[in-house]
Every structure is written in structure tokens, then in C-alpha cells.
């Protein structure tokens, strides 16, 4: 949905748009419209062309920003909202009842904000009701969508919203779906159904002022980075309240304020497509049915350099970027392969095995058979110590399966040599084309014969008695999944202590999670097992929940969360796993992808939370939900749980 | 400090920054003022200053985790931007031209221009020099930005605002940091080639967008190393290793 089809605050003034000029080298100004020309926003022929353009590129409705004119008691500009004859293009209205733009907020002399009386708010609604009666008024689940820019500008907001709902029912237009701008505060408490983002407000983009070469000596404005806004948006966590996502193609106020404009630099259609794609993915995860709405702040906002409509420079590239993102965005978390699929594929999927090397040793020994699975990739420096730590385990009966995931260094050769040389354990080395950690893990698991399965990363280490101790505890507790405490080591194997803030944070998370009534309390916040390598589980768990899903970063965390529905998660409070921290680890360079995957796995986990075995007792459930809300996960709780608990205080 | 905090809480970040700065003028080792000024500078978009201040705050208050956390948050903002741009680059594949026969492109160009970037260094020269030496002098012009730290072989100054820029022919841009791309469409290059010299996704995205005339024309890429080609995964040739340059370039030209 398009959020600013007509912005009254900055009524489209083509003279200003034409006269805008660059303030710095390569400053894109003026913006010159292409096929639509310098159009009249009230011209019905133009409107028809705009609707066609929007529809063609996947935009399903316009949202008109309207002011309230006290003198005429009318919405302004109403002329724009009137449809061309026969138009069926949906629309809705946003009451722009005060400035929400980020400029001048910091000038120390913010203008007095106007407060609208109850009577004015009532009059506004009466003006709106005839529009709501139109067939093409945009609705969510049959409810007409109405947006309010600044709820605080409405006197007695809670009563006004109640009155609006009553009036709409009386007028037989349906209970309005009321939304306000904002990202971080209690829209629900005021009586709104949801909030909506309104960029560029709400972000702290990086200043580029020192990086541009000014050509306008009078310029006193701001130059900000589009990318940092986008990066902040993509890294933002899921809020506890319903928040619709809004994307913005660009921002440049030069046509409004030549010398004091806020200008965002660095926008490209590709980045806009990234933003759109993620907004769609999140919306898909967070909402269902007709609530799956994404807003675009754009359209007719040439004054603000914020238009999707074609211009001479980019043509339709932003529109096409939007359409392509709509087509490619996939948000549903990847499924975990079932056990039978794992066995069937036996490594013949993405990373088909090309070569297998086995040691000649035939395993035997006391105790349950354990299969240790190690995915290996480019760890020539660490893989031998890692294997040494496995083969020297005090537990007797074990086999080792190493999947070389297409290493490009000498890891593969080192593994083959080790397997041939090893006389004490059965070692199988499988070489496959690079297919990612989850594929390598699944491949290794599909070959495992042990009753218990233990994993290890090719750069980490086991403590000498790890498997013996863990198996004993698992049997005693009848747990099908266990993990131990972690010792963090550096690239040279030295222990990293709390002097490293990152390690201190990880340790605090482990302590907090494992000190809770159940480790699950910790797992819903972060992966307190730290890594896949710390997992030990019974093979039958794979039969129940399947293998690792195709997530690049969080496949392990997703696996534990699924396991929690089938077995207690047993924590052994001894540092039996030595986890190596590198300067460049996967997550730090793929944090934004990680953010999406975390939301995917948390969405999947919480989707069925009502049936979780840990929460059978009402008291346990209440405590768990309170914990989830306190940790900022209220947005994942089913809405009825979320509101019921809140109502109980 | 109280006034500064109050200003910050009310969103008056300019005022808050000025008040914290005043505190630091009196007490340069005040942890709170250093830390909070770092936060305010972040809110004002002054990321570099914020990073310096938060790093200093970490040193002043090694036991206080908030400064370290904020420092890491800011670091992650930079990392996130890099990730974002790397992903966005994959969407530019439609702007990247595949030149199956680079040798004939180079041989047939009536005139060739190599435009050096602002960050052009001795290391870049090492990879470019064999090419320069092998191109017939009469057909090649080298251009350098006015602020270039390095000027190999007496390259001409590039100053599009004064009309000093190449026109037509084959334009090879060495490096991604160019102060302006806006003169390029008017200069009507027959073909544009970018030599990618650094693993800087944001800069590469800007360069591809700028050099392609905002996406209206495709450009070709040459990577300075095969590692860069692997990192970016956009089609393009790789400059031969230094030892092979003379032979390879000779065969191309």
C-alpha cells in the first residue's frame, strides 16, 4: 500500500521541484518526472494513469495524507481523493494532524503542536464516513483502515477512538481498523489496533556531511546515509505491539528547503528492493490474512524527493525493484528434512558426496554407540586438534564421521590422511561440494549408526570426558538432548575470560538461561548452547523432529527449539565444550540475515506454544509468558495470550 | 550533566552534545559525559565521532558494560551496512556486461582512458602498470583526481567542472572511489570498465550505479584479484597475477 499519495504538508509545488538545485557534488537534483510530466494531482486522467502504474507494479492501494481544514470543516485535499469515474483502485485516509517529519525537531525551538478537540475529531470522522462507504475504501478483515499521524495531538485520545468506533458502527461502515504512526510506544494502550512506521522518522542515519563536497555555500542542512537507515530497519527486533512495516525509496527535502534540507544519499533501486523484501518477509511472519500489509512512503512526494513514479534518472527502476521484491520475498522458515528424507538423500542433495575415505578400524567397546559428526570447512589449522579431542574421549564405543564441505584449503587432505592413519577409532571422511553447514550436518547424520549423536565444529575441542559424562547424565535424566557449559578459546587455544565483553555477555546469557526454571527460558532469547558442536542427542530425536533446516546461521538454534517440544533440554554445568572465537565468525558478517532467521525460528517455535509440554500447568505457562514478555518477545506470543496476561496485570 | 541528560531525553541532541562537550572541557576523563556524548553523536549521525568516544568510554570505565555494549552496537551498524550492500550487489547483475573477448574490445577502441580513483596507491599501480605500458601511447590517456595521493606516469588532472575529463572511447576506471560520476553520461563513453581493487561493497555499489549512468547502460568488471571475484560473485574478468601481466596483456593488446 502506498502511504503518501498526496502529502498536504508539502503540497506538491512543481515550481519548487523544478527550481531545486544540487547542494553538493553529485547531489541528485532537480528530480524531473518522466512520462507523467509535471502533473496536476487532481487531474482524473493523471490519477487513472497513476493507478495503472501502481497496479502494474504490485501496489494495491493509495493512502492519502489529509489535513483538517477548520474553516471549511473539510478534509484537505479532498479533490485528490475523488476517484476517476469507474475507478476501483482502493484507497484509505491518514489524518496528518501534525508534523511528523524529522527536521527541526532538534532545533531547540520546536513549534507548538496543535491539539485537536473532541469536537474537531468528531467532525473529522463525519467527513470520513461517506468515503468509508465507498466500495473501494481499503479494509482489513472488512474493517475500514484509518491512520492517525499523531495520536497525542487528539485530546482525550482513548475516548475519541471509542467514539469513532461507535459512530462507525452506527453509520454501518464497520468497526474501523485504527492505526497510528510510531514504532516504540503503546499504541494499543491508547486504543489503536496497530502502529505503522513512517520513515525517515525513527532512525538515526549516519551523517555524510563531511564526505560530500558542498557546492552551495549557504547550505546548513543535513546529509544522511540511506544505507544506515536501512541497516537499522533490517536489524530492528520484532516489537511487542502490532507494527506495520514501511519502506521508503529515497528522501531529499531540497525542493522544500534548498539551504536547510535533510538529504539522504546512497539510495539505489537494489537497496530499496532489499528493504522491501525484508519488510514483506517480516510482515508475512508477523501477520496473517488481510493484516499482511506493507506501506511505502512515497507517491506525489516530489517535494521530498520521495517518489516511485518514473523520473528521467531512474525511469521505472524503483517501481520495478518493488515489484521484483514482491515476487521474490519468501518468509516461511525452511522446513527441517524428515528422518526418512535424510536417509533417502544420504548426501545426494546439494552437496553430493564425491569421495569417501574410511579407517580400517572396526569399532567396538563398552557402552552405547556414539556417532560424532563433524562438518569441516577450511579449518586446516584446527581440524587435527579437533579430531584428536574426539578420538581420545574416555567413552569407548564411538565412530567419527567427518563431512568435508568442499574445503578449498588442505583440510580435506589432512582428514583423509588422519582417517588412514587412525588405528583406534572408526573414522569416515566424506567429501562433498560446498553446500553449507546444515547440509554437511544432515549428510553426516544420515550416515551415523550410533544410538547417540554428538556434533563438533572442525575448529573446536571436546574436553576429555565430555561424552562419558554427558551420556551418563542423559541416561539418568532420561533426556534425549543435552548440552554442556562452554569454555571460550581464542585462535591459539587460550581461554578467553570475562575481560572480553562479548564472552562476558555470552556467559551471562548461559548463566541466566540455565539458572532459570528450565533452559528453555534461555533458549527463547538466545542459543545458550552457543553452537551446534555442543549438541548431544539420541538418534530417535531425528525421527521425531527431522534434521537441520536450510538456515545459514540459525539452523542449530531452530533444532533445539524443535527438540524442546519432544524432550527436556538437559544442561550439564561443566565446560565440556571448547568453543573457538575467531575475529571473523559467520554470524558477525551475516548479522542481518541472522536477524531474519531468528525471527523465523522464534515465529515457528511460538506458533504452537500452547501445546508445549513444559507449559502444561497454568502457573508454569504464566511464568514462562511473563518471562518471554520481559525479554521483549511479547510480539511472538499469540495475541490472546498476550492480552489476557496483560489484562491480569 | 543533568541539563545535558534532560536535553537528550527531550530529543534535543544538538543542545545535549554541546552540554556534554562543556562537561568534558572541564573534566576530560568524565566517563558519563564521554559515554553519553558518544550516544548523542550516534543519534546525530556522527558515527565516526561516536565510535571514538565510545572506545574512550570503554577505557575510562572498563567495568561498565553499557559503553562496551554501545560500542559493539555501533560496530555492528557498520558491519550491517557492509552486509546490506553485499546483498544488494547481487541485484546489480543486470547492469554488468559480460565481455567474452576483452582483447578485441581493447584492441578496437579508437581511444582509451584510464581514470584513477582517489584511493589509487602504489599497490594499484603495480597491478595496472603492465597494462599501461602495453597500451599504444597514442591511444591511451591517464586521468587522476586532483586530490590523488599518487601520480604515476604524469596522469592528467580530472576536473569535470572545468571541462577536464575524457570524452568518448573506452573508459577504464581503476578503483571505486571517484568524487563524481555525474559527468560520465555527457562524456558519452563507448564502453565503461571498472577495475575492482578493494573489498568494499558499498563503494562498489556506488561505483556500479554511478558508472552505469544510474542503470541505463551496462558496465564491465575486472577484478584486481581472484579473491575479490570470489567475494563479489558478479561476473567479470580477473587481472592476471603480477608476473603474468606482461604476457597476458601483451596478448590482449
**DSSP three-state, residue A431:** strand
Give the residue from A98, A159, A167, A155 showing the smallest Cα distance to A128: A167
Q: How many CA atoms lie within 13 A of A212 on its CB side?
A: 25
Are residues A641 and A629 in contact, defined by beta-carbon separation less than 8 angstroms?
A: no
Residue A480 has pLDDT above 50, yes or no: yes
**Most B-contacting residue of A184, A206, A314 (CB-CB within 10 A), to test interface:** A206
8 Å CB contact between A194 and A185: no
Where does the pLDDT of residue A109 fall: very low under 50, low under 70, confident under 90, or very high at 90 and above? very low
Query: Inter-chain contact A591–B80, Cβ cutoff 8 Å?
Result: yes
CB spacing of B45 vs A207 below 8 angstroms: yes
Measured from the Cβ of residue A553, the count of other Cβ atoms closer than 10 Å reads 21
Structure confidence by residue, pLDDT tens digits, A378-416: 999 999 999 999 999 999 899 999 999 999 999 999 999
pLDDT value, residue A338: 93
β-strand partners of A252: A263
Percent residues over pLDDT 90 in chain A: 68
Examine the pLDDT at A8 and tell me if it is beyond 60.
no
Chain B residues lying within 8 Å of A591, measured CB to CB: 76, 79-80, 83
Model pLDDT for residues A325-340, shown as the tens digit of each residue: 998 877 788 999 998 9
- The secondary structure of B226-247 as a DSSP string is HHHHHHH----EEPPPGGGHHH
H-run or E-run covering A165 = helix A157-170
Quick check: A192 and A180 in contact, CB under 8 A? yes
Has residue A221 got a pLDDT over 50?
yes
Nearest CA in chain B to A210: B46
Please give the radius of gyration of chain B, using alpha carbons only, rounded to the nearest integer: 23
pLDDT of residue A147: 96
pLDDT of residue A61: 95
pLDDT digits (tens, 9 = 90+) for A111-159: 556 889 999 999 999 999 999 999 999 999 999 999 999 888 899 999 9
Is B52 an interface residue toward A (CB < 8 Å)?
no
- The predicted pLDDT at position B34 comes to 95
| Helical (H) or strand (E) element with A420 | helix A411-421
Contact assessment for residue B143 and residue B115, using Cβ atoms and an 8 Å cutoff? yes
Say if residue A476 is exposed, middle or buried (CB neighbours under 10 Å; 0-12, 13-18, 19+): exposed
Residues in chain B with pLDDT < 50? 246, 249-253
Looking at A79-93, A462-476, B175-189, which range is the least confident one?
Answer: A79-93
Which residues in chain A touch residue B182, judged by CB atoms under 8 angstroms apart?
A: 25-26
Would you say residue A219 has pLDDT above 80? yes
Q: Residue A70: its pLDDT value, please?
A: 80
Q: What pLDDT is stored for residue A78 in this prediction?
A: 66
The answer to whether the beta carbons of residues A269 and A314 sit under 8 Å apart is yes
Mean pLDDT calculated for residue range A103-112: 46
Digit-coded pLDDT (tens) for A574-621: 999 999 998 655 456 788 999 999 999 999 999 999 899 999 899 999
3-state secondary structure of A447: helix
Q: Percent of chain A, pLDDT > 70?
A: 89
Q: Which residue has the higher pLDDT, B152 or A22?
A: A22
The residue that leads in pLDDT, A70 or A528, is A528
Q: Quote the distance between the C-alpha of residue A582 and its chain's center.
A: 25
Mean pLDDT taken over chain A: 88
Residue A29: predicted pLDDT: 96
Residue B173 to chain A, least CA–CA distance (Å): 17
Global ipTM:
0.87
Q: How far is A224 from chain B (nearest CA, A)?
A: 7
With H, G, I as helix, E, B as strand and everything else as coil, classify residue A83: coil
User: How far apart (Å, rounded) are the C-alpha atoms in residues A125 and A75?
Assistant: 10
Judged against a pLDDT cut of 90, whether residue A295 lies above it is answered with: yes
Q: What is the pLDDT of residue A352?
A: 56
Query: Do A313 and B214 lie within an 8 Å CB cutoff?
Result: yes
Is A245 in contact with A3 (CB distance < 8 Å)? no
- pLDDT tens digits for A270-286? 999 999 999 999 999 99
pLDDT tens across A355-364, in order?
777 776 666 6
Distance of alpha carbon A529 from alpha carbon A538, whole angstroms: 17
Q: In A132-242, at which residue ranges do the beta strands (DSSP E only) sit? A: 139-140, 143-148, 177-181, 194-196, 222-225
Contact call for B68 and A501, based on CB within 8 A: yes
What does the pLDDT look like over A245-269, one tens digit per residue? 999 999 999 999 999 999 999 999 9
Closest among A153, A166, A146 to A117, alpha carbons compared? A153
Cβ atoms A24, A265 nearer than 8 A: no
pLDDT at residue B146, as a whole number: 83
Least confidently predicted of A182-191, A411-420, A482-491, B15-24? A182-191
What pLDDT band is residue A226 in, cutting at 50, 70 and 90?
very high
> How much is the average pLDDT of A314-334?
90
Peptide linkage before A478 cis (omega within 30 of 0): no
Contacts 24+ apart (CB under 8 A), A508-517: A510/A485, A510/A486, A514/A485, A514/A571, A514/A573, A516/A627, A517/A620, A517/A623
Q: What local confidence, expressed as pLDDT, does residue A604 receive? A: 95
Q: How far is B78 from chain A (nearest CA, A)?
A: 8
User: Are B91 and A589 a contacting pair at CB < 8 A?
Assistant: no
Contact A373, A453 (CB under 8 A): yes
Residues 15-34 of B with CB under 8 A from A: 15
Amino acid at each position: 500500500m502506498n502511504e503518501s499519495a498526496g502529502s498536504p504538508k508539502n503540497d506538491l509545488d512543481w515550481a519548487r521541484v523544478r527550481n531545486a538545485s544540487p547542494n553538493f557534488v553529485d547531489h541528485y537534483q532537480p528530480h524531473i518526472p518522466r512520462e507523467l510530466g509535471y502533473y496536476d494531482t487532481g487531474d482524473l486522467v493523471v490519477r487513472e494513469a497513476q493507478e495503472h502504474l501502481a497496479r502494474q507494479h504490485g501496489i494495491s492501494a493509495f493512502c492519502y495524507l489529509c489535513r483538517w481544514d477548520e474553516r471549511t470543516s473539510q478534509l484537505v485535499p479532498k479533490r485528490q481523493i475523488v476517484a476517476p469515474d469507474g475507478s476501483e483502485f482502493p484507497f484509505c485516509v491518514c489524518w496528518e494532524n501534525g508534523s511528523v517529519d524529522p527536521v527541526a525537531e532538534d532545533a531547540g525551538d520546536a513549534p507548538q503542536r496543535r491539539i485537536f478537540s473532541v469536537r474537531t475529531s468528531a467532525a473529522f470522522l463525519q467527513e470520513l464516513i461517506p468515503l468509508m462507504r465507498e466500495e473501494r475504501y481499503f479494509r482489513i478483515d472488512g474493517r475500514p483502515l484509518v491512520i492517525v499521524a499523531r495520536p497525542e495531538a487528539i485530546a482525550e485520545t482513548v475516548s475519541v477512538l471509542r467514539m469513532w468506533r461507535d459512530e462507525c458502527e452506527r453509520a454501518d461502515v464497520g468497526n474501523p481498523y485504527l492505526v497510528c504512526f510510531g514504532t516504540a510506544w503503546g499504541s494499543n494502550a491508547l486504543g489503536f489496533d496497530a502502529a505503522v512506521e513512517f520513515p525517515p522518522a525513527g532512525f538515526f542515519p549516519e551523517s555524510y556531511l563531511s564526505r560530500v563536497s558542498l557546492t552551495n555555500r549557504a547550505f546548513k542542512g543535513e546529509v544522511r546515509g540511506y544505507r544506515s537507515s536501512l541497516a537499522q530497519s533490517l536489524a530492528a527486533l520484532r516489537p511487542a505491539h502490532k507494527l506495520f512495516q514501511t519502506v521508503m525509496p529515497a528522501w531529499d527535502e531540497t525542493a522544500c528547503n534548498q539551504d536547510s534540507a535533510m538529504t539522504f544519499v546512497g539510495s539505489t533501486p537494489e537497496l530499496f528492493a532489499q528493504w522491501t523484501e525484508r519488510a514483506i518477509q517480516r510482515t508475512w511472519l508477523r501477520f496473517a490474512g488481510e493484516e499482511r500489509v506493507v506501506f511505502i512512503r512515497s507517491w506525489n512526494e516530489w517535494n521530498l524527493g520521495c517518489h516511485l513514479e518514473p523520473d528521467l534518472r531512474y525511469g521505472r527502476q524503483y517501481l520495478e525493484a518493488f515489484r521484483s521484491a514482491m515476487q521474490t520475498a519468501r518468509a516461511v522458515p525452511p522446513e527441517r528434512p524428515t528422518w526418512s528424507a535424510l536417509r533417502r538423500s544420504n548426501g545426494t542433495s546439494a552437496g553430493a558426496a564425491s569421495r569417501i575415505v574410511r579407517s580400517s578400524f572396526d569399532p567396538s567397546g563398552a557402552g552405547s554407540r556414539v556417532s560424532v559428526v563433524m562438518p569441516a570447512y577450511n579449518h586446516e589449522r584446527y581440524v587435527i586438534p579437533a579430531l584428536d579431542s574426539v578420538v581420545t574421549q574416555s567413552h569407548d564405543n564411538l565412530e567419527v564421521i567427518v563431512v568435508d564441505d568442499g574445503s578449498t584449503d588442505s583440510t580435506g587432505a589432512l582428514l583423509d590422511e588422519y582417517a588412514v592413519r587412525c588405528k583406534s577409532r572408526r573414522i569416515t571422511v566424506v567429501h562433498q561440494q560446498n553446500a553449507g553447514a546444515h547440509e554437511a550436518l544432515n549428510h553426516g547424520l544420515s550416515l551415523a549408526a550410533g544410538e547417540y549423536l554428538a556434533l563438533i565444529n572442525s575448529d573446536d575441542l571436546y574436553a576429555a570426558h565430555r561424552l562419558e559424562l554427558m551420556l551418563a547424565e542423559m541416561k539418568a535424566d532420561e533426556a534425549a538432548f543435552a548440552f554442556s557449559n562452554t569454555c571460550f578459546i581464542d585462535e591459539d587455544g587460550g581461554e578467553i575470560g570475562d575481560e572480553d565483553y562479548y564472552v562476558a555477555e555470552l556467559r551471562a546469557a548461559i548463566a541466566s538461561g540455565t539458572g532459570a526454571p528450565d533452559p528453555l527460558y534461555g533458549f527463547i532469547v538466545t542459543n545458550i548452547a552457543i553452537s551446534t558442536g555442543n549438541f548431544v542427542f539420541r538418534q530417535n530425536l531425528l525421527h521425531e523432529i527431522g534434521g537441520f533446516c536450510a538456515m545459514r546461521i540459525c539452523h542449530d538454534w531452530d533444532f533445539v527449539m524443535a527438540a524442546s517440544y519432544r524432550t527436556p533440554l538437559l544442561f550439564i554445568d561443566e565446560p565440556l565444550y571448547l568453543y573457538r572465537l575467531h575475529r571473523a565468525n559467520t554470524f558477525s558478517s551475516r548479522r542481518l540475515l541472522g536477524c531474519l532467521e531468528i525471527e523465523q525460528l522464534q515465529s515457528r517455535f511460538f506458533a504452537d506454544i500452547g501445546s508445549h509440554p513444559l507449559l502444561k500447568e497454568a502457573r508454569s505457562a504464566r511464568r514462562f509468558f511473563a518471562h518471554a514478555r520481559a525479554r521483549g518477545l511479547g510480539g511472538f506470543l499469540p495475541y490472546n495470550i498476550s492480552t489476557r496476561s496483560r489484562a491480569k496485570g | 550533566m543533568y541539563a545535558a541528560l534532560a536535553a537528550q531525553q527531550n530529543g534535543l541532541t544538538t543542545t545535549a552534545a554541546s552540554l556534554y562537550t562543556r562537561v568534558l572541557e572541564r573534566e576530560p576523563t568524565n566517563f558519563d559525559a564521554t559515554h553519553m556524548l558518544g550516544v548523542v553523536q550516534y543519534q546525530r549521525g556522527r558515527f565516526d565521532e561516536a565510535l571514538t568516544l565510545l572506545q574512550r568510554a570503554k577505557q575510562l570505565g572498563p567495568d561498565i558494560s553499557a559503553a562496551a555494549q554501545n560500542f559493539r552496537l555501533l560496530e555492528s551498524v557498520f558491519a550491517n551496512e557492509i552486509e546490506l550492500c553485499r546483498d544488494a550487489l547481487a541485484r546489480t547483475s543486470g547492469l554488468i556486461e559480460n565481455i567474452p573477448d576483452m582483447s578485441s574490445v581493447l584492441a578496437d577502441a579508437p581511444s582509451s582512458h584510464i581514470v584513477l580513483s582517489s584511493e589509487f596507491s602504489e599497490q594499484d599501480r603495480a597491478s595496472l602498470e603492465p597494462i599501461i605500458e602495453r597500451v599504444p601511447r597514442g591511444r591511451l590517456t591517464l586521468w587522476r583526481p586532483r586530490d590523488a595521493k599518487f601520480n604515476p606516469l604524469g596522469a592528467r588532472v580530472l576536473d569535470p567542472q572545468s571541462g577536464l575529463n575524457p570524452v568518448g572511447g573506452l573508459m577504464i576506471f581503476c578503483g571505486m572511489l571517484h568524487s563524481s560520476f555525474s559527468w560520465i553520461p555527457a562524456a558519452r563513453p563507448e564502453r565503461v570498465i571498472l577495475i575492482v581493487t578493494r573489498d568494499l561493497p558499498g563503494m562498489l555499489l556506488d561505483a556500479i550505479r554511478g558508472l552505469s549512468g544510474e542503470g541505463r547502460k551496462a558496465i564491465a568488471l575486472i577484478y584486481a584479484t581472484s579473491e575479490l571475484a570470489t567475494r563479489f560473485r558478479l561476473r567479470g574478468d580477473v587481472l592476471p597475477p603480477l608476473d603474468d601481466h606482461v604476457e597476458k596483456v601483451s596478448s590482449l593488446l
